[in-house]
Amino acid sequence: MKACLLRSVAPVETNPLEFGDTAIPNPAADEVLVRVEVCGVCRTDLHVVEGELAPRHSPVIPGHQVIGTVAKSGKEAKRLKTGTRVGIAWLHRTCQSCEFCRAGKENLCDRPEFTGYTVDGGFAEYAVAPEDFVYSIPDAFPAEQAAPLMCAGIIGFRSLRLTGVGRGGRLGLYGFGAAAHLAIQVARHWGIEVYAATRDERHRELALELGAAWAGGTTDEPPAKLDGAIIFAPAGEIVPAALRALKKGGTLVLGGIHMSTIPPLEYSLLYQERVVRSVANNTREDGRDFLRVAAEIPIRTHVELFPLSDANRALNALKHDAIRGAAVLDCRKP
């Protein structure tokens, strides 16, 4: 099969992914083999490729926003029939036995596996995943529309719920890439007023098109105090500005798996019960809940398609904010 292989971490400007042939993986007893149609390109893939996430499996095929069809099943995998349309997300497998898994917090598992990081992912024509961690994908979503739902959508959804902002509340979104352009659609569906802060004018325009009440620069002060906010940009220097924009008791959620250093904070920014919390991965329940809501809305993703062989170009475009919405690799066209 054709695949993009990362042998050693390096800046994406050096085009470190090697496009070539590798063996089609065999599913283990509890796994399914998926014929990949498309795979979304996520900022986490950038962190993997550039080494901001320490290498855990090398060489590795990145990619964790996979949409495809079941091609083969292991002997213990009996739920999904051949040809079933499925999605593979970041959370590849959990131990199901640690204290967090037993408490229903599998996103905090002590021994997790991650698609495209600790195991091979979807920048390829085929990928394997445990059947229990694979999502059924509604037919209403074309493949390229569905791909960003698998990470940008699920993580944005979990982040949104953790803010605690409800109908009639005000939500700030800092950074307006793939995750934010999906989260705003859920927020507006729930009757939440959204304020977008992002450095790129094209992204501000997209935020307004999607129903934002206001769109300004990354550190601009919104015209109203916010009940909650999410930082999707991996930039710790945004945290003080976002805290200043919150009402008393507001929650700031950090939606990324990696972030640059947060500068020292004046206690006054945290006083009056403002909360800063991170988001770590997701649970399968998050994914199922999000896909149900996404179909209700229905969510529409803004995507730019790249051939699988152009994965390096897609990553470079993502790094330099040249993607309006989400980048998706078309693995049907290597």
**What does the pLDDT read at residue 140?**
82
pLDDT at 316 over 80: yes
pLDDT at 334 over 80: no
DSSP designation for 119: B
Q: What is the pTM of this model?
A: 0.94
Three-state DSSP at 229 gives strand
- What is the Cα–Cα distance from 106 to 130, expressed in whole angstroms? 15
**What does the pLDDT read at residue 321?**
87
Half-sphere exposure of 23 (CA within 13 A, CB side): 3
- What is the Cα–Cα distance from 47 to 51, expressed in whole angstroms? 6
pLDDT tens figures, 236-280: 999 999 999 999 999 999 999 999 999 999 999 999 999 999 999
The secondary structure of 260-274 as a DSSP string is PPPPP--HHHHTTT-
Distances (CA, A) of 191 to 66, 186, 284: 30, 9, 25
pLDDT tens figures, 37-52: 999 999 999 999 999 9
Q: Which residues contact 241 (CB under 8 A, 6 or more apart)?
A: 174, 197, 218, 219, 221
**What does the pLDDT read at residue 165?**
98
pLDDT at 193 over 90: yes
- What is the Cα–Cα distance from 144 to 204, expressed in whole angstroms? 23
Percent of the chain surpassing pLDDT 70:
100
pLDDT tens figures, 124-177: 999 999 999 999 998 889 999 999 999 999 999 999 999 999 999 999 999 999
Structural domains in the chain? 2-151+281-330 (3.90.180.10), 153-278 (3.40.50.720)
Q: Which residues contact 163 (CB under 8 A, 6 or more apart)?
A: 171, 227, 228, 229, 230, 251, 253
Alpha helices, H only, the chain: 43-50, 99-102, 143-146, 152-163, 178-189, 201-209, 239-244, 267-270, 284-296, 311-319
**What does the pLDDT read at residue 187?**
98
**What does the pLDDT read at residue 255?**
95
Higher pLDDT, 196 or 138: 196
pLDDT tens figures, 1-18: 999 999 999 999 999 999
**What does the pLDDT read at residue 33?**
98
With 0-12 / 13-18 / 19 or more C-beta atoms within 10 angstroms meaning exposed / middle / buried, residue 195 is buried
pLDDT tens figures, 71-94: 999 999 999 999 999 999 999 999
- What is the Cα–Cα distance from 270 to 252, expressed in whole angstroms? 10
**What does the pLDDT read at residue 175?**
95
